[in-house]
Amino acid sequence: MKNFYWLWLGQLVSILASGITSFALGFWILEQTSSVTDFATVIVLATLPGTLLAPLAGVLIDRHSRKKIIILADVTAALTTALIAYLYWSGNLQIWHIYIVTAIDSMALAFQIPAVMAATTMLVPPELLGRASGLSHMSEALAGVAGPFLAGMLLVPIGLSGILVLDLVTFLFAAILLLFIPVPDPDKTELGPCEESSLRLEAKLGWHYIRERHGLIHLMIFAGLVNLIAGMVVVSVMPLAVSFADEAQVGFIMAAGGVGSLMGGAYLATTGGPARKINGVYAGTLLAACCLFVMGLQASLWFVAVGLFLFEASIPLFAGSAQVIWQTRVAAELQGRVFATRRILSQITVPVGSFGAGILADRLFEPVMREGGPLTASLGAVLGTGAGRGIGLMLIVLAGAMLATSLWAMANKHIRNIENEG
């Protein structure tokens, strides 16, 4: 495991610094424009390009050196960070610059993340892969916990420029460290030509498998709806927090979400979740609905922090339980193709929800809850009025949507009986 530990250390440092930078840039965008739509666009560009590129990235990773791909991805991220730093120092940084850089980083991650996973398989004995997977998930959770908190603490003393330098150094550190780590590639096999038609064929095979199994396709639709709502929540939390909290308090709120994710994952790792995994799916979404309602009630540090903590804790319960269902219901030799199709079809709703949330917040929910708005005399008397209260109302509406989606899934016989499906 020694070489894996070094690989993991480099990626951990890089992921943590990226979390700090993402928080700082998001805060900068909201300070400059006060536009949730602009903030949401960055979230969309951080996910959509990489999601669409995933099938091609998977083929190329299998055909080329995983080590070189990881290094290239780290160097690409370092160059884009250097570009942002230069534009910021020269006083020329614009929102559209961040859009372009975020899209490039998303495409780099489409190669980096699966390449690291594939490299781990070659570095770790089969009996220790579970331990390695746990460490990888821990690094992501730790970045979610420490990233926002550290960003909130660092923004005042070193500013955005200092954070960008820190991010640049960590990317270079990860790339240089990897140069000294031997990462063997698997024996080459006859994989066939990398053509668009073959990629389409692979996607069709995965889709046909899912379509022929009612439980799986209904579960995928359910996950898509949940991800749509979750994408809207991801965009909403920071603008909501910024409306009433300072940098350190916003960092605390976002870190609370990271702790929740860490705790939810730890629960699932130690207990395995409910015996019937579909019950874990239901429990996760019902808990998420309750948390969204709490987050929207008051412009309060503790309401939002506790609500986000529990919301993020519910996600591993939902996603982890659903993952086990897919792993046990899909033939092992078909899981690569089926899971690639599932990822694209269920995850594509995340950027849709993220962008939609920005538009709804700026053009509908925030205006109606401002002083003198059409709902200030009614809902405003309960939820409050002013900046951020429209987002609070939107979270309550999303809580209702999550509850309705959960009740539909509980009533759906195909989803309810999926673990007994032949």
Question: Angle at the Cα of 198 (from 340 to 183), degrees rounded to 5?
Answer: 60
What is the identity of the amino acid at 130? G
Secondary structure of residue 275 in the 3-state scheme: coil
CA atoms of 108 and 76, how far apart (whole Å): 7
Question: How does DSSP classify residue 188?
Answer: P
CATH class of the domain at 201-422? mainly alpha
**Closest to 18 measured CA to CA, from 137, 119, 113, 148:** 148
Distances in Å between the Cα of 389 and the Cα atoms of 312, 370, 394 are 22, 8, 9
Over its C-alpha atoms, the chain yields an Rg (Å, rounded) of 22
**Closest to 36 measured CA to CA, from 237, 253, 227:** 237
Q: Which fold has domain 1-180?
A: Growth Hormone; Chain: A; (1.20.1250)
* Residue in the structure block whose two tokens are 């954070």: 163
**pLDDT the model gives residue 395:** 94
Cβ-based neighbour number of residue 188 at 10 Å: 8
Q: Give the tokens for residue 80.
A: 């884009």
Judge contact between 322 and 281, C-beta under 8 A: yes
**pLDDT the model gives residue 405:** 95
Judge contact between 289 and 307, C-beta under 8 A: no
**pLDDT the model gives residue 132:** 62
CA atoms of 109 and 310, how far apart (whole Å): 28
CA atoms of 332 and 338, how far apart (whole Å): 10
**pLDDT the model gives residue 326:** 77
Judge contact between 15 and 140, C-beta under 8 A: yes
Judge residue 5's burial from the number of C-beta atoms within 10 Å of its C-beta, 0-12 exposed, 13-18 middle, 19 or more buried.
middle
pTM score of the predicted model: 0.68
Give the DSSP H or E segment for 34. Answer: none
Distances in Å between the Cα of 303 and the Cα atoms of 233, 275, 292, 312, 366 are 15, 32, 10, 14, 19
Which residue stretches of 90-213 are H helix? 95-123, 129-179, 196-211
**pLDDT the model gives residue 399:** 95
CA atoms of 273 and 328, how far apart (whole Å): 15
**pLDDT the model gives residue 290:** 94
**C-alpha neighbours within 13 Å on the C-beta side of residue 127:** 0
Judge contact between 252 and 305, C-beta under 8 A: yes
Exposure string for 49-65, b = 16+ CB within 10 A, e = fewer: bbbbbbbebbbebbeee
Q: What is the dihedral of CA 57, 60, 61, 65, to 10 degrees?
A: -140
- Polymer length in residues for the chain: 422
What are the residue ranges spanned by the domains of the chain?
A: 1-180, 201-422
**pLDDT the model gives residue 422:** 53
**pLDDT the model gives residue 159:** 73
Nearby residues of 336 by Cβ (< 8 Å), 6 or more positions away: 58
**Closest to 33 measured CA to CA, from 82, 98, 84, 80:** 98
Q: Give the tokens for residue 312.
A: 């993020």
Q: Fold match between 1-180 and 201-422?
A: yes
Render each residue's pLDDT in the chain as its tens digit; 422 residues. 778 788 878 777 777 777 777 777 777 777 777 776 776 777 777 777 777 776 666 667 666 777 888 888 888 888 888 888 888 888 887 888 888 888 888 788 777 776 776 677 677 776 665 456 556 656 666 666 666 667 767 766 777 777 778 877 887 888 888 888 777 766 654 444 444 445 566 556 667 878 888 888 999 999 999 999 998 998 888 889 888 888 778 878 887 887 888 788 777 767 767 888 899 899 999 999 999 999 999 888 999 999 999 998 888 788 878 877 876 777 655 655 566 667 677 777 887 888 888 889 888 898 988 888 888 888 888 888 888 899 999 999 999 999 999 999 999 999 998 888 65
**pLDDT the model gives residue 17:** 76
